[in-house]
């Protein structure tokens, strides 16, 4: 959207960026990295590693919604009903959670965002939110994994049952050191309900229905990097390829 502005529009925008960064000085030097990919493409794993490497807070949208569901909030109840019927969380609830989270002091250096946008409306709202604070997305990283590989990956994914940890593993690609036990906190690993084989194909169908227009929305941006991987690519190699691509884009 911002890339389509004319010369005058871009000039006005740069003036606003300058003024907004002074007004919202807490986020003056913030950096925003967006990771996009299908379910099971490794967004959370890559974002966690980038957080440790770059010192920018990982913002996992899926975890925020799961927290709302556990706490039985209004957003959580609505999201749980949507997920049960095979739908995405609403755009409005997504934006409310995102705005509330990104205002926290822990994101003053920016955020590595994954799990959003899942619709074109969410992509536009995210861009406008950052614009309001005088920022834009610094890098958009698209993780490209074939549907066949995703169908193989998801049923083998495991997450830590300790909700304060939430580390993600994969039985083949990224197993824990002790089977069924989290390396970080020692809690038991479990399968996410939406990773069951009978649900995986529906999740991919929902993703594919929105992916084309989201990627088209970002097609004119100069800061898009694409990292292709398959189920023979190690997590370490995938991360190094992603990190290199982001550093080159920056």
Q: CA distances (Å), 209 to each of 87, 88, 205, 206, in order? A: 12, 11, 6, 5
In the sheet where 31-37 sits, what is the strand order? 58-60, 110-114, 31-37, 139-144, 224-228
> Considering the domain 2-19+28-147+219-249 in this protein, what is its CATH number?
3.40.50.300
Whether the upstream peptide bond of residue 117 has omega within 30° of 0, thus cis, is: yes
Sign of CA pseudo-dihedral 185, 99, 129, 119: positive
Residue ranges per structural domain of the chain = 2-19+28-147+219-249
- Kindly state the DSSP code that residue 97 receives in the 8-state scheme: H
pLDDT at 9: 64
The predicted structure's pLDDT at residue 104: 92
Residues with pLDDT less than 70, the chain: 1-6, 8-11, 13, 17, 84-86, 250
Residue 1, pLDDT score: 55
The whole-number pLDDT of residue 206 equals 85
CA distance 68 to 39: 20
pLDDT tens profile 152-191 = 888 888 989 997 888 888 888 889 999 999 999 999 999 8
Any idea which residues carry the catalytic annotation? Answer: 43, 118, 157, 192, 203
- 3-class DSSP state of 224: strand
- pLDDT recorded at residue 241: 95
């Amino acid at each position: 959207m911002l890339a389509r502005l004319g010369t005058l529009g871009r000039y006005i925008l740069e003036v606003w960026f300058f003024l907004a960064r002074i007004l919202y000085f807490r986020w003056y030097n913030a950096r925003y990295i967006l990771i996009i990919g299908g379910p099971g493409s490794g967004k959370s794993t890559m974002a966690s590693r980038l957080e440790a490497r770059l010192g920018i807070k990982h913002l996992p949208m899926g975890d925020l919604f799961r927290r709302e569901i556990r706490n039985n909030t209004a957003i959580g109840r609505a999201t749980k009903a949507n997920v049960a019927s095979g739908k995405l969380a609403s755009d409005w609830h997504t934006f409310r959670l995102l705005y509330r989270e990104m205002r926290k002091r822990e994101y003053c250096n920016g955020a590595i965002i994954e799990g959003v946008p899942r619709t074109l409306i969410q992509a536009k709202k995210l861009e406008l939110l950052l614009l309001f604070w005088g920022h834009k997305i610094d890098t958009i990283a698209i993780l490209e994994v074939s549907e066949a590989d995703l169908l193989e990956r998801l049923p083998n994914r495991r997450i830590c049952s300790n909700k304060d940890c939430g580390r993600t593993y994969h039985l083949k690609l990224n197993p824990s050191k002790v089977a069924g036990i989290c390396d970080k906190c020692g809690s038991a690993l479990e399968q996410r309900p939406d990773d069951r084989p009978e649900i995986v194909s529906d999740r991919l169908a929902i993703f594919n229905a929105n992916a084309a227009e989201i990627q088209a929305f970002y097609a004119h941006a100069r800061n898009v990097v694409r990292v292709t991987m398959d189920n023979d690519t190690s997590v370490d190699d995938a991360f190094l390829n992603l990190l290199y691509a982001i550093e080159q884009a920056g």
